[in-house]
Amino acid sequence: MDLAAGYREHPPPAALAAAVSCVWTRVTPAAGVPPTRVLPDACVDLIWQQNRGVFVAGPDTGPVFDALPPGTVLAGVRLRPGAAGAALGLPPSALLNQRTDAAELRGELLPVGPATALLARLPGSLPPGVALRRLTQTAGEMATAGPPDRLVAEAVRALARPGSRVGAVAEDLGISGRQLHRRCCAAIGYGPVLLRRVLRFRRFVSQIDSGRPADLAAAAADVGYADQAHLTRDSVEFGGLPPAALARARRQGGTP
């Protein structure tokens, strides 16, 4: 594990690609940094922190500001939208906008099985490289024991496309809008309408991270917004800043 300061993402092992978006590390510089703005992405992260152990992050519906002491070491596994409910064995709505130590869930929400192995295998005293390997292995066991809902995975892919409509996606999947809402809530933590908005906002975030959106009106149209004002409303709600200010903040940060 690279312990140089900064945030880094890596692709997951091929066997985990259906459930895991990425594995990542973050090391706060010894001099410290301002609080990090973490944006909603419909994912749930399993995070190991040196000298703390494991906690579960998200799903989020707004920006979260992580203020970490200098020298903090984190290792994470990001579960794809829809994978967390089955893997953890609890509705992600119970974790909505939370950062919850795994020990707080023991005996209350987490079932006995691979998920509870997260608690025993990953004390905060582990070397960071060992912690990342064990965290990835445990996430794989959890995903094997509780594989993602395939229908929700299809819905996520469909709703990630510009111009998608929740009603049309439900119809294409052969279920009612109410069934799609129920299954999204069980797997993701909220319904398909909010999911569609978060995924559309993340398309804009991907654009600003790539350095493309000099013209915000064009960027809004490209990712599926009706107009720039519509983008601005979502940017303020999900990112805490108007689009241009969010783009500047992203260039300075390099985090989710």
Per-block mean pLDDT, blocks of 10 residues, the chain (256 long): 85 95 94 88 96 94 93 96 90 91 67 60 92 92 90 97 96 97 96 98 93 82 94 97 92 71
Residue/partner pairs of 201-206 with CB below 8 Å, 24 or more apart: 201/39, 201/40, 201/234, 201/235, 201/238, 201/239, 202/39, 202/40, 202/41, 202/42, 203/160, 203/162, 204/231, 204/234, 204/235, 204/243, 205/39, 205/239, 205/246, 205/250
Same domain, 226 and 100: no
Domain that holds residue 233: 150-253
Same domain, 19 and 141: yes
CATH for 213: 1.10.10.60
| Cα-based angle 145, 147, 149 (whole degrees, multiple of 5) | 145
Same domain, 232 and 123: no
Same domain, 213 and 175: yes
Same domain, 132 and 24: yes
In a domain, 1, yes or no: no
Q: What is the pLDDT of residues 220-240, one digit of tens each?
A: 999 999 999 999 999 999 999
- The structural domain count of the chain equals 2
Same domain, 101 and 52: yes
Same domain, 162 and 54: no
Q: What is the pLDDT of residues 168-195, one digit of tens each?
A: 999 999 999 999 999 999 999 999 999 9
In a domain, 48, yes or no: yes
pLDDT of 31: 84
The residue among 96, 111, 145 that closes a domain is 145
Q: How far is CA 247 from the centre of its chain?
A: 19
Same domain, 70 and 160: no
pLDDT of 212: 72
pLDDT of 35: 87
In a domain, 66, yes or no: yes
The residue among 126, 145, 164 that closes a domain is 145
The residue among 117, 145, 173 that closes a domain is 145
